Amino acid sequence: VRCQQYPPLRALQASAALRGASDEHKKEPWASSSQQHFESPPAGHQPEEKPQGPHPSYTGQGGQESEDYESEEQLQHRILTAALEFVPEHGWTAEAIAEGAKTLGLSVAAAGLFHSDGSELILHFVSECNTKLSELLKKEQKLVQLGEAEKKPVDEFLRDAVEARLRMLIPYIEKWPQALSILLLPRNIPSSLTLLTNMIDDIWHYAGDQSTDFNWYTRRAVLTAIYNTTELVMMQDSSPGFEDTWRFLENRVADAMTMSNTATQVQSTGEAVVQGLMGAAVTVSNAGTSRAVR
Amino acid sequence: VPGAGAALRPCSSRVAQDGINQPVIDRIIRVDHAGEYGANRIYAGQMAVLGRSSVGPVIQQMWNQEKNHLKKFNELMVAYRVRPTVLLPFWNVAGFVLGAGSALLGKKGAMACTVAVEESISEHYNNQIRTLIEEDPEKYKELLQVIKQFRDEEQEHHDIGLEHDAEATPAYSVLKTAIQLGCKAAIFLSERI
């Protein structure tokens, strides 16, 4: 699985500290040991578990991970997922992350694990949406393979896929312009670009694209443009149910289909013209030589 | 650095066949596809000049085999979801020019070009076979089979070129070195972009 990783920005020491403030008043076994205080222990136990004694695998030195412990990444994942609920109110900010951490029973200091501009939260959200889209498309593909659904024509497929993906923004639409600008920060561009290109490639793959020539790039570039412009239109759209956006999307996809048909036609016309010219040239040269022979 | 046990790495779910080393396979298929595409264009160029000469049928036969190779890599490319190299339009022109140019040097020139290119490709395939065997010969059995077969056929082309007096071309070693340098550059670039 080609995954997009984005590096956690703070050491895991912070997560140790934040767990100390949880409601169960767990006595952290390592708090007393100054050596372990500065090591990066493996991510702690689930906060919902009952307080347990000192865990045998706390060896301190970048510890062993067993199945009882979630990794740092899983912890971050859970915090960010919980934080999404608070985005409509607080925006893509450390406040939302702090609120999310609170619902998991962690300290608000958990927000310190992340950048203050909410980059990771946004990237996490985009990644989750893309995964949801892939699963949706895979399910649809299975239905078609089992004969339980009709195979959609390409333009309809693309339209539906882009619409499905954009609809995932609706709960967060008011704060999305802010998110877009953060995704364009130079620091975030590699990650956001990779997420975008992977998503577009996924859509084309499930649409049945099998090009192995330059069309591979053309098609993806066209779909990326359609997606990005439709997303921007959606930000400005105040029509009921975003119907203006979906109409815009339909028109752009139709344009793309027309362009590709026109391109094919231009090519065949061009080839026909060239053949005609070659024929004329041969005729003229034959007429010339036959006159010379006479 | 994310935790070692991270199963929940957030990612766009790019379907990968279980456990294959996608970046390595990506490169292998992309560069091989580019290579066969280029080889196709080289033979096309040679046929354009020498198609009606006495070596025409020989070149045509080698070209047909390359067409089959390209077809196979097109299938593998779709199966493994590999992107083609951006440079395809460039290899399109460059291959044809190389083929036609070498053919304009005469039949021996065309054969010299074939020898140079096929030698590069055989060596390149051998490197890939080594890489795949080092990775996991069982997992990549099908791909290994394909590459081995193609390597053998390219070797045949190389030998046919030698049989047709490739080495008698004027400035043979210069020509051969230049073409092989070009092939190395093409391989390097196509793996990456």
Cα(A175)–Cα(A55) distance, integer angstroms = 42
pLDDT of residue A49: 44
Lowest-pLDDT range of A40-54, A102-116, B72-86? A40-54
Pull the structure tokens for residue B39.
């080889």
Tens digit of pLDDT for each residue in A80-89? 999 999 999 9
pLDDT of residue A222: 96
User: How much is the mean pLDDT over chain A?
Assistant: 82
Closest-CA distance of chain A to residue B174, Å: 33
Helix axes A94-103, A72-83, angle to 10 degrees: 100
CB-closest option in B15, B81, B84 to A213: B84
Kindly identify which residue of chain B lies nearest to residue A136, measuring between CA atoms: B13
ipTM: 0.85
Closest-CA distance of chain A to residue B5, Å: 6
Domain definitions of chain A by residue range: 72-116, 119-276
Which of B13, B27, B67, B71 to substitute to test the interface with A, most A CBs within 10 Å? B13
Amino acid making up residue A60: G
Cβ distance of A212 and B14 shorter than 8 Å: no
Please say whether the beta carbons of B83 and A216 come within 8 A.
Answer: yes
Buried b / exposed e along A80-112 (16+ C-beta atoms within 10 A): bbbbbebbeebbbbbbbbbbbbbebebbbbbbb
Closest-CA distance of chain B to residue A55, Å: 18
Q: How many contacts (CB atoms, under 8 Å) link A and B?
A: 95
Cβ distance of A65 and B6 shorter than 8 Å: no
Please compute the mean of the pLDDT values over residues A209-230 and round it to a whole number: 95
Closest-CA distance of chain B to residue A212, Å: 6
Cβ distance of A130 and B77 shorter than 8 Å: no
pLDDT of residue B149: 95
Kindly identify which residue of chain A lies nearest to residue B79, measuring between CA atoms: A210
Burial of A184 (0-12, 13-18, 19+ CB in 10 A): exposed
Cα(A247)–Cα(A234) distance, integer angstroms = 11
Element at B189 (helix H, strand E): helix B172-192
Pull the structure tokens for residue A137.
């498309």
Instruction: Give the confidence band of A19 by pLDDT, cuts at 50, 70, 90.
Output: low
Sort residue B19 into left (φ over 0), alpha (ψ -120 to 50) or beta.
Answer: left
Cα(B91)–Cα(A177) distance, integer angstroms = 42
Cα(B156)–Cα(B152) distance, integer angstroms = 6
Cβ distance of B86 and A210 shorter than 8 Å: no
Tens digit of pLDDT for each residue in B13-57? 444 566 788 899 999 999 999 999 999 999 999 999 998 899 999
Q: How far is CA A101 from CA A47, A80, A281, B6, in A?
A: 11, 8, 78, 20
Collapsing DSSP to helix, strand or coil, A69 comes out as coil
Residue A117 scores a pLDDT above 90: no
Tens digit of pLDDT for each residue in A226-243? 999 999 999 999 999 999
Please say whether the beta carbons of A81 and A66 come within 8 A.
Answer: no
Pull the structure tokens for residue A10.
């703070």
Cβ-Cβ contacts under 8 Å, B83 against chain A: 201, 216-217
Higher pLDDT among residues A144 and A4, named by residue: A144
Please say whether the beta carbons of A145 and A208 come within 8 A.
Answer: no
pLDDT of residue A58: 44
Cα(A7)–Cα(B22) distance, integer angstroms = 21
Kindly identify which residue of chain B lies nearest to residue A209, measuring between CA atoms: B78
Maximum average pLDDT range among A63-72, A216-225, B12-21, B47-56:
A216-225
pLDDT of residue A288: 86
Q: What is the sign of the dihedral through the CA atoms of A84, A90, A92 and A93?
A: negative
How far does chain A reach from its first CA to its final CA, in angstroms?
Answer: 75
The candidate with the shortest Cα–Cα distance to A209, out of B74, B146, B24, is: B74
Lowest-pLDDT range of A39-43, A222-226, B132-136? A39-43
Q: What is the 3-state secondary structure (H, E, C) of B68-132?
A: HHHHHHHHHHHHCCCCCCCCHHHHHHHHHHHHHHHHHCCHHHHHHHHHHHHHHHHHHHHHHHHHH
Cβ-Cβ contacts under 8 Å, B73 against chain A: 212
How far does chain B reach from its first CA to its final CA, in angstroms?
Answer: 27
Q: How far is CA A93 from CA A19, A111, A127, A235, in A?
A: 21, 9, 18, 19
Please compute the mean of the pLDDT values over residues B97-103 and round it to a whole number: 94
Q: In the CATH hierarchy, which fold is given to the domain comprising A119-276? A: Tetracycline Repressor; domain 2 (1.10.357)
Lowest-pLDDT range of A24-38, A63-77, A162-176, B34-48? A24-38
CB-closest option in B14, B74, B77 to A1: B14
Cα(A180)–Cα(B105) distance, integer angstroms = 58
pLDDT of residue A155: 92
pLDDT of residue B20: 83
Collapsing DSSP to helix, strand or coil, A108 comes out as helix
CB-closest option in B2, B84, B89 to A73: B2
Instruction: Give the confidence band of A115 by pLDDT, cuts at 50, 70, 90.
Output: confident
Higher pLDDT among residues A1 and A224, named by residue: A224
pLDDT of residue A11: 45
Cα(B140)–Cα(A29) distance, integer angstroms = 48
CB-closest option in A43, A131, A212 to B12: A131
Please say whether the beta carbons of B89 and A214 come within 8 A.
Answer: yes
Q: In the CATH hierarchy, which fold is given to the domain comprising B22-191? A: Ferritin (1.20.1260)
Instruction: Give the confidence band of A141 by pLDDT, cuts at 50, 70, 90.
Output: very high
Cβ distance of B3 and A74 shorter than 8 Å: yes
Percent of chain A that is helix, strand, coil (3-state, to 5): 65, 0, 35
Closest-CA distance of chain A to residue B108, Å: 30
Cβ distance of B7 and A74 shorter than 8 Å: yes
Please say whether the beta carbons of B120 and B184 come within 8 A.
Answer: yes
CB-closest option in A73, A195, A201 to B9: A73
Please compute the mean of the pLDDT values over residues A19-34 and round it to a whole number: 45
Please say whether the beta carbons of B25 and B82 come within 8 A.
Answer: yes
Kindly identify which residue of chain A lies nearest to residue B16, measuring between CA atoms: A1
CB-closest option in A8, A124, A130 to B12: A130
Please list, in sequence order, all residues whose beta carbon lies within 8 angstroms of the beta carbon of residue B59, skipping any fewer than 6 positions away: B43, B46, B47, B50, B51, B110
CB-closest option in A7, A77, A198 to B14: A198
Please compute the mean of the pLDDT values over residues A150-174 and round it to a whole number: 94
Cα(B161)–Cα(B156) distance, integer angstroms = 9
Residue A219 scores a pLDDT above 50: yes
Cβ distance of A210 and B4 shorter than 8 Å: no
Cβ-Cβ contacts under 8 Å, B86 against chain A: 214, 217
